[in-house]
Amino acid sequence: MVEVFISSLRQEMMWMKSSTHKFDTIYIGGGTPSCLRKDNLQSIFSAVYEVFGDVLKKNTEITMEANPADITSKTLAHWKALGVNRISLGVQSFDDNTLVFLGRRHNSKSALCALSLSVHGGFQHVSCDLLLGLPPSLSKENSLEIIAKAKKEQEIAINTGIDHLSLYILTASGPTPLNRMVQNGAVSLPVEDFTAHQLLQSSLFLKSRGFHHYEVSNFARGVTTESRHNMKYWTGLPYLGFGPGAHSFDGSGHRWWNLPNIDKYIESISRGDIPPRNEEFLTVNQRRTEKLMLGLRTSRGVSRELACAGGAHDSLVTELIRQGFLFSSNDMLIPTEKGMLTADAIASKLS
Amino acid sequence: MTKIRNFSIVAHIDHGKSTLADRLIQMTGEVAERDFRDQILDSMDLERERGITIKSNTITLPYKSRSGEEFALNLIDTPGHVDFTYEVSRALASCEGVLLLIDAAQGVQAQTLAHLYGALEQNLEIVPVINKIDLPAADIPRIKEQIENDLGLDPEDVVCCSAKTGEGIADVLEAVVKRIPPPETKEDAPLSALVFDANYDPYRGTVVSFRIFTGSVKKGDKLRFMWNKSVYDVEEIGLFRLKKSPQPCLKAGQVGYLVAGIKTISDVRIGDTITHNNKPVAQPLPGFQEVKPVVFSSVYPISSDDYPSLCDAIERYKLNDAALIYQKDSSVALGRGFRCGFLGLLHMEIFQQRMEREHDQAIIMTVPSVSYRFTMDDGSEIIVDNPAYYPDKNHIVKSEEPYIRANIMVPEKFVGAVMNLSTERRGENPNFGYPGVGRVEIFIDLPLAEVIFDFYDKLKSSTQGYGSFDYEPIGYRASDLVKLDILVNKEPVDALALMVHRDSARTRAIAICERLKEEIPKQMFKIPIQGAIGGTIIARTTISAFRKDVTAKCYGGDISRKRKLLEKQKKGKARMKMVGQVEVPQSAFISVLNTSK
Ligand SMILES: Nc1nc2c(ncn2[C@@H]2O[C@H](COP(=O)(O)OP(=O)(O)O)[C@@H](O)[C@H]2O)c(=O)[nH]1
């Protein structure tokens, strides 16, 4: 089964090869590729190198999304041998109760261990995901203590020597067990104002430790440690995605994505058809909305020209600057911390 | 030759006027039992629902008296609400007598008295009728006492009936022919006829209801409407049977309708005198008045796109309601609309409901206002009914507002409650009358503006429903008026401005600010909401800013969905009204305008 899937992947890559120029990032993620068997992972990498070898740049960033529970020095050595040079670990928390609540396979100890092993395993970059905005009921602490505890977790993480941190805010939406619990009142999530405060406090703390806030949820030690791959999403560069549910974008206005059903994915490829997918062709306005929405998430910001829309938004932009949501640097408008946290609202106003 | 009786039924609301009318129609055989629909005279749905007659209908009933004489009984229906006092007076002017209907359990109420006075003014024969004698709570001796003491009428003359069971209805009919005098019938004199009602018929134009006092009229006559100074050729005249019944000729004493190619109902004025163009009467009939609106409000479409449809609807509505006046109006916040003048709050409410139900309009109406009078330092006088035109306060020498004299009738134990309410509403000069044991009649002068601001509801609730209320205008009185501005993010919102007495300004301002705070969603910036008189802030609330509006994760697979969400929100915002940089949802206006009514 896995073998069939991998050969489908290879097939899809071959079909899509013609639509790419040279590129310099690869991201193996979505779900938990780290639990793939060694030989399966090997086949995937072989397929990538075989199909795209001639368009791969030197210095390609190759990221592997990994579950701390799957990390051993052996797997790490194998990944390194395959060319992986960046690891992103879904740690989420160093609190065992929280990890149980989140249904994770690892505990705080194995998480810490996975981080250290990765850092010492010779990978250029190691990133750790942590969660903010956990249900207050999980701990008996008051809000000050909750914030202090979050900082403590960040401290633990960066002390392992990692150079990148993603802070996500736990949200309940869609048909997830968490959302059901929130809906029926079994669990309550902190109010947005509190999580905003928590994120701001974390950002201040991380800054003091040399991590800059370069995207709503992402912090890096130095510019070169930012996730080059993810940055492409936010700056509107082209990318190709393979596998069920993967999204691709041509960098100008064409986006398409495979439907998530894996059986249909395999079936149509085996028939010689491209997998079932949806697509969209962005209008000029939609493209503009996306540029605003994505650009304002990052410390790159958006160009003043784009934001002002030929003068239509001049006074609004002035007001946003005056109120400390944006600042102006050369011909770019850069969100402040406060601005990043309200990026969607600003984008909506400017779009 | 059949004899004629012209009469109306008048009563306090709910005492059974419509039910009795139906019963009379049924008893005289004008409608077969199987066709009998309850309350035929109240033809509009809205009237049926509210239980009040808005647009009157008239009917001619054939009746053979006990002595065997043939009669044509013209039952002239009257609108049953204070907003329409003038229309009622014209209908009564077309009669020789009235049945003054009194509920056997409730007894004499404020409007019973008002109607009595109205009928006396016209020198009408008054037949007191006690209705609902079938009720277990009916107390005929007590009501007779009230009739004698409160109304000064002879209790011997009282007719008792139940419009519900039909008991006593035959006596009522007999009283109509015996007690109410026949009309004079000077057929040879020049034509003089009173217009007491007009209805719009989409196929025939305006149908005029009229009563001939002298002379006669026939098809083809050239008629002059004396006040209006217009001339029309009669296309059809006739009697009001259940359906209109055309006649070759109508004569003095008769009540009927005429169709004369009159395009709109506004071309006819209630109370006008009709005469022959080439042989006019010397004098028009007395009592004509221009109807003047007393309550004003602006109407806007909820969605600005619907303005053309609102234009159509208001024109169509106007065909049937000559009392409505309107002109174009516009508001920065709500766009284009109309400033409307109404005879009273009920009239306004009827307008609103009919626009919504019959004309399918989604509308917002601004807080009703009365018309204020300002004397300026150059000696000129201006009348202002729209806060947008509030004059420069530095040049105002005197401000005045219209007052009414309320006549409130309550059981003794509620006098305190009524006085509290009236004082709260700036009532002045209370006078008390004690028409009967345990009952008090309170006369008190009140600003009309306070009365249109839910006074009647408050009166009802503070007297457990026993308080009854009537009023008459008594002119302008000096008053300390101010214009209350509501500012959102420091910008005045024109549609929310009010003219109020200085003493109520703060309470009103606080209420509005609080409501806006509830209705306006958090924004990116802190938004002050203020109530101000001139430059002085008298109330304030603040809409706090949200601190976070961004999704945590946005990678390749999330972008399309996120953009669509943003586009959707943007669409929702387009429906909001922009006040400065603030998106104010329509619901905020509706909520403020509705509750501060
Ligand atoms: N029991 C009883 N109820 C009556 C009688 N006449 C009218 N009603 C009821 O009193 C209410 C008001 O009557 P309606 O004719 O609408 O009053 P209007 O407002 O004066 O026209 C209705 O519910 C009628 O059914 C009556 O003789 N007996």
pTM as predicted: 0.67
Residues B469 and B110: beta-carbon distance below 8 Å: yes
Indicate which of B489, B546, B563, B564 best probes the interface with A, i.e. most A CBs within 10 Å of its own CB.
B563
pLDDT at B106: 92
Indicate which of B550, B554, B563, B571 best probes the interface with A, i.e. most A CBs within 10 Å of its own CB.
B550
Q: Ligand 1 — pocket residues by CB below 6 A?
A: B 11, 13-19, 51-52, 80, 131-132, 134-135, 162-164
Contacts of A325 in chain B (CB under 8 A): 524
SS3 call for B407? strand
Q: How many angstroms separate the CA of residue A217 from the nearest CA in chain B?
A: 6
Q: Would you give the DSSP letter of residue A34?
A: G
Contacts of A280 in chain B (CB under 8 A): 560
Say yes or no: B332 and B376 in one domain: no
Distance (Å, rounded) from C-alpha B207 to C-alpha B158?
A: 36
Say yes or no: B506 and B452 in one domain: no
Distance (Å, rounded) from C-alpha B197 to C-alpha B195?
A: 6
Find the CB nearest B566 among A169, A325, A351.
A351
Partners of B470 in beta bridges:
B407
Residues B352 and B365: beta-carbon distance below 8 Å: yes
pLDDT at B594: 61
Mark yes or no for CB contact B563/A289 under 8 Å: yes
Question: What's the domain count of chain B?
Answer: 5
Distance (Å, rounded) from C-alpha B10 to C-alpha B17?
A: 7
pLDDT at B541: 95
Residues B173 and B146: beta-carbon distance below 8 Å: no
* Residue of B344, B389, B337 whose CA lies nearest to B366: B337
Q: Is B435 exposed, middle or buried (0-12, 13-18, 19+ CB in 10 A)?
A: middle
Range of the domain at B200: 192-276
CATH of the domain at B494: 3.30.70.2570
Other CB atoms within a 10 A radius of the CB of residue A125 amount to: 22
Q: Do domains A22-226 and A284-350 have the same CATH topology?
A: no
Say yes or no: B409 and B528 in one domain: no
Mark yes or no for CB contact A344/B570 under 8 Å: no
* Among B208, B243, B276, residue at a domain's last position: B276
Mark yes or no for CB contact A338/B569 under 8 Å: no
* Among B276, B304, B333, residue at a domain's last position: B276
Which of B10, B14, B165 for a ligand 1 pocket mutation test, highest count of atoms within 8 Å of Cβ? B14
Mark yes or no for CB contact A293/B560 under 8 Å: no
Instruction: Pick the residue from chain B with its C-alpha nearest to A241.
Output: B556
Indicate which of A240, A342, A346 best probes the interface with B, i.e. most B CBs within 10 Å of its own CB.
A342
Contacts of A234 in chain B (CB under 8 A): 554
Q: How many angstroms separate the CA of residue A128 from the nearest CA in chain B?
A: 15
pLDDT at B42: 43
Residues A43 and A11: beta-carbon distance below 8 Å: no
pLDDT at B535: 87
Distance (Å, rounded) from C-alpha B305 to C-alpha B218?
A: 49
Per the domain annotation, does B499 fall within a domain? Answer: yes
The answer to whether B566 faces chain A, any CB pair under 8 Å, is yes
Per the domain annotation, does B289 fall within a domain? Answer: no
The answer to whether B490 faces chain A, any CB pair under 8 Å, is no
Per the domain annotation, does B286 fall within a domain? Answer: no
Say yes or no: B28 and B156 in one domain: yes
CATH of the domain at B249: 2.40.30.10
Q: What is the mean pLDDT of chain A?
A: 93
CATH of the domain at B318: 3.30.70.870
- Mark which residues 98-127 of A lie under 8 Å from B by CB: none
Say yes or no: B210 and B350 in one domain: no
* Residue of B327, B342, B345 whose CA lies nearest to B291: B342
Residues B223 and B274: beta-carbon distance below 8 Å: yes
Enter the tokens of residue A310: 């030929």
Say yes or no: B396 and B248 in one domain: no
Say yes or no: B529 and B567 in one domain: yes
pLDDT in tens, A235-257: 999 999 999 999 999 999 999 99
Q: How many angstroms separate the CA of residue B553 from the nearest CA in chain A?
A: 7
The answer to whether B571 faces chain A, any CB pair under 8 Å, is no
pLDDT at B36: 47
The answer to whether B389 faces chain A, any CB pair under 8 Å, is no
Of the pLDDT bands very low, low, confident and very high (cuts 50, 70, 90), residue A54 is: very high
- On whether the A284-350 domain is CATH 3.40.50.2300, my answer is no
CATH of the domain at B447: 3.30.70.240
A22-226 has which CATH code? 3.20.20.70
Enter the tokens of residue A189: 């999530």
CATH of the domain at B112: 3.40.50.300
Distance (Å, rounded) from C-alpha B398 to C-alpha B477?
A: 10
- Enumerate the domain spans of chain A: 22-226, 284-350
pLDDT at A139: 66
Percent of chain A residues topping a pLDDT of 90: 79
| pLDDT, mean of each 10-residue run, chain B (597 residues) | 90 91 81 47 47 61 91 88 82 96 93 87 94 96 92 92 95 96 91 92 88 95 93 94 87 94 87 95 90 88 89 89 88 86 86 88 87 94 90 93 91 92 93 82 92 82 80 91 93 89 92 91 90 94 91 90 91 74 79 59
Higher-confidence residue of B56 and A218: namely A218
Say yes or no: B9 and B157 in one domain: yes
pLDDT in tens, A286-314: 999 999 999 999 999 999 999 998 888 99
